[in-house]
Structure 1
Amino acid sequence: MTVKMTAEELMEFLDGEFPQVNGEFAIEEVGDSRIRVRLLVAERHLRPGGTVSGPSIFALADVSVYLAVLAMIGPQGLAVTTSCSLDFMRKPAARTDLIAECRLLKLGRVLAVGEVLVFSDGMQAPVARASLTYSIPPK
């Protein structure tokens, strides 16, 4: 399958459709059924003790699958999460960006399934693993 949106096009779409997350994410790489997205960690993402909060990790996993789907199908703002399973495996490094490595396992006409490994920048072992399903709107 051919990539239909570049990293720049995806960021422009995200900024236009979801201005509330403007400046929170950076797309590092887009490929066939895969994407790498960075959460630019700021004070608002931290829980007491300085580690990144669970809701921030969920947001990174969710936006990563969303962007991976859009990269493959084009700009469709109404693709929505229908299911998510998230495993927190270890404590993220304090005050450090998180990186999501996402790959689409299935991209059908109606549903897409993605898997995400989340890493603290500089750590080799993942801090979280997520599996998400997205509903794709009819054309």
Structure 2
Amino acid sequence: MQLKMDVTALNAFLRSDFAQVAGMFEVIEAGAETVIRLRVDDSHLRPGGTVSGPTMFALADVGIYLAILSRIGPVALAVTTNATIDFLRKPLAGIDLLARVRVLKLGRNLAVGDCLIFSEGQAEPVARASMTYSVPPR
């Protein structure tokens, strides 16, 4: 597997093309597994002191998107066409979340990725997501 974008390039892409959310996310590994950090703050919490479902969904979506871009290059118009997420357990409030992402299939028109989300430092995942993206002609 040859990467077209490394950690530095992926983080730069986030800052340039998704500046509105770039401060929330950080790519910390790229390769066979891509790892993305979500910096959890009070705006991500829901009543009951846990990270909200939409926040975890956003992490999975951004994480799988960036893992795909690491393989195809900076193709901003790759878009989500299908998404499934399972919330497995309550994330720890105030603890950053880590998404561990694998690209399962990278075809000519579609890419499929899988994501496990963890509260940093914890062994058990808090959510699992699977997403399919439409990849524009290259």
Same fold (TM over 0.5): yes
The residue number in structure 2 matching 1:30 is 30
Alpha-carbon offset, residue 38 of structure 1:
0.6
| TM score, norm. by length of structure 1 | 0.96
| TM score, norm. by length of structure 2 | 0.97
How far apart in 2 are the matches of 1:35 and 1:20? 22
Alpha-carbon offset, residue 118 of structure 1:
0.4
The residue number in structure 2 matching 1:113 is 112
> Helix, strand or coil: the match of 1:99?
strand
The residue number in structure 1 matching 2:99 is 100
The residue number in structure 1 matching 2:123 is 124
Unaligned regions of 5+ residues in structure 1, if any? Answer: none
Alpha-carbon offset, residue 50 of structure 1:
2.2
What is the aligned-residue RMSD (CA, Å)? 0.8
How far apart in 2 are the matches of 1:13 and 1:93? 29
Percent identical residues = 57
The residue number in structure 2 matching 1:57 is 56
Q: Matched residue pairs, number?
A: 138
How far apart in 1 are the matches of 2:108 and 2:14? 22
Q: Deviations over 1:107-138 (max 9, x none)?
A: 01100000000000121110000000011011
Q: Deviations over 1:6-59 (max 9, x none)?
A: 111111111111111021011111003x20001011111111232111000000
The amino acid across from 2:27 in the alignment is I
Unaligned regions of 5+ residues in structure 2, if any? Answer: none
| 1:10-21 paired onto structure 2 within 5 Å | 10-21=10-21
